[in-house]
Amino acid sequence: MTVEAAFCSVKTLGLRRDLPSIVSVSGPSISEMIGADAGFHADQAWWAYWKGAAPLFSILAPNGAAARYVVMANPLKLSLIHPEARPGVVAAAAYSDGRRVAEIPLEEAGEWSRKPGHVVWIGLHEPTLDLLRQLQREFGLHDLAIEDALKAHQRPKLEQYGEALFVVARTAQMVGGRIAFGETHLFLGRGYVVSVRHGASTTYTPVRERCEAAPASLSDGEDFILYAILDFIVDNYMPVIQAIQEEVEEIEDSILAETSTRSHVQRLYQLRRDLLRLRNAAVPLVEVCRRLEQPGLPGIDASMSPLFRDVSDHIRRVQEEIESLREVLAFAFETSLMTGQAQQTEITRRLASWAAILAVPTAVAGLYGMNFDVMPELHWQYGYALVLTVVGVVCGWLYWRFRRNGWL
């Protein structure tokens, strides 16, 4: 059964037998709707009513509640799924001991982050300034960090603002045959991690799911979430490189088959430029991870150093793949140009050969076309046949020579 609820705040949500005593009901009893052994516990009284004949009811706070939630109920279970979607907010949840304990509204994020043993993980996608200002009030974020997070034109970096860290990483995806770049800005402090995505970027839902599937690791806190996101960003560079590598191999085959065109040369140049941009996006993360490996940064435990070192190793591998692929592209580009020049030379040789062959009859025709009065062979009975024979023999000999030398 689906239950739609609107309320201001619910501190806990669990199983109770006294649901009918907590909620006053207008219409069929809630015991009949969701079972006598199910219920929820809240910090104030609620009212419920049927919405027509549909199996839906609303739970309203006395003050007319603003926040809306959707919950699923069955005869033995009532569980909160998530707050109503808010533009720019992908997910907002609180964790304790590596397990998700609640989906939270942003207005309560600061309160949840200050609870002992709790971590708030919020994911945003191209948020507005108002949304960032709200998080700034909740977590005390620095003005400069908020300004950087609003504009997606930052170089990968790590900055420390008091007891908080601000990390910028570049993301990459293949879009329409070109590398599209985006940015991820990460706020990290005691009890919270906020990720802000701009531009081309894969959703971090798989990261959250992987972390939630390993509560022992997620219980390490904010620094493990930071590691998981950075590792995911770096791993997503490899599909981009592999896609370019496959395309370059196809172009190389066409070049070797002497079927390359001008578009292939232009494409090789574009790919080489894109790889340079990818290198500039990925390599600075080595310095970011190097700083995260060093002790002294707030919120980063020394035990996380091997994990950040592993991310650095992945970045270096990406760098090596990029450099190797750029060399292949350079060779392919040069080979394409050389192949084009060889084709032009071949055409020039053929034209020159035929021009030399045709020069013989042209010269003879020009000689006898001068209209001199005294040309004895013109009046000789076999003169015409002799001239044609000489022209044919010379032209045939030239053709044989050019053919033998590979010009024709």
pLDDT in tens, 5-50: 333 333 333 333 333 323 333 333 333 333 333 333 333 223 232 2
Query: Hey, what are 338's tokens?
Result: 């050389």
Helices (H) and strands (E) in the chain, counts: 13, 13
- For residue 51, name the pLDDT band (cuts at 50, 70, 90): very low
Q: What is the pLDDT of residues 319-378, one digit of tens each?
A: 898 988 888 888 777 777 777 777 778 888 888 888 988 888 888 888 777 777 777 777
Among 176, 178, 185, which Cα is nearest to 151's? 185
Query: How many percent of the chain have pLDDT more than 70?
Result: 78
Domains of the chain: 2-83 (no CATH), 89-339 (3.30.460.20), 345-404 (1.20.58)
Mean pLDDT score, 273-290: 89
Distance CA 5, CA 292 (A): 43
Q: pLDDT for 169-189, tens place per residue?
A: 999 988 888 889 999 999 999
Contact 151, 185 (CB under 8 A): no
Q: Is 224 exposed, middle or buried (0-12, 13-18, 19+ CB in 10 A)?
A: buried
State how far the alpha carbon of 174 is from the alpha carbons of 89, 207, 233, 243, 248, in Å: 25, 20, 14, 8, 14
- Burial state string for 3-22 with b = 16 or more CB within 10 A and e = fewer than 16: bebbbbebeebeeeeebeee
- Terminal alpha carbon distance of the chain: 83
- Residue found under tokens 């990390």: 167
Identify the band that residue 69 occupies on the pLDDT scale cut at 50, 70 and 90. very low
What would the pLDDT profile of 189-221 be if each residue is shown by its tens digit? 999 999 999 988 888 999 999 999 999 989 888
Find the mean pLDDT for residues 288-308.
Answer: 87
Sole residue written with tokens 């909620």: 23
Q: Which two tokens stand for residue 224?
A: 């493990």
Contact 227, 309 (CB under 8 A): no
Q: What are phi and psi of 34, to 5 degrees?
A: -125, 5
Give pLDDT, residue 267: 83
Query: Is residue 199 within 8 Å of 152, Cβ to Cβ?
Result: yes
* Tokens 């292939």, located at residue: 264
Q: How confident is the model at residue 227 (pLDDT cuts 50, 70, 90)?
A: very high
Return all residues near 25 (Cβ < 8 A) that are at least 6 apart. 47, 48, 49
Say which residue, 236 or 366, is predicted with more confidence: 236
Q: What's the burial of 134, exposed, middle or buried (CB within 10 Å: 0-12/13-18/19+)?
A: middle
Name the band, by pLDDT with cuts 50, 70 and 90, for residue 263: confident
pLDDT at 385 over 70: yes
What's the pLDDT band for 401 if we cut at 50, 70, 90? confident
Residue with tokens 């609620």: 46
Query: Comparing 340 with 391, which gets the higher pLDDT?
Result: 391
When the pLDDT of each residue in the chain is averaged and rounded to a whole number, the result is 76
pLDDT for residue 260:
61
Q: Residue 72 pLDDT more than 70?
A: no
DSSP 220-250: T-HHHHHHHHHHHHHHTHHHHHHHHHHHHHH
| pLDDT computed for residue 2 by the predictor | 31
Region 69-86: what's the mean pLDDT?
40
Q: What is the pLDDT of residue 256?
A: 67
Q: Which residue reads 């069955």 in tokens?
A: 74
What's the pLDDT score for residue 65? Answer: 35
Residue 168 has pLDDT above 90, yes or no: yes
Residue 54: per-residue pLDDT: 30
Average pLDDT over residues 217-245: 91
Average pLDDT value for residue range 243-254: 83
- Alpha helices (H) in 75-204, listed in sequence order: 109-113, 129-139, 143-150
Of 248 and 260, the one with more pLDDT: 248
CA-based R_g, the chain, Å: 38
pLDDT digits (tens, 9 = 90+) for 102-155: 999 998 899 999 999 899 999 999 898 999 999 999 999 999 999 888 887 778
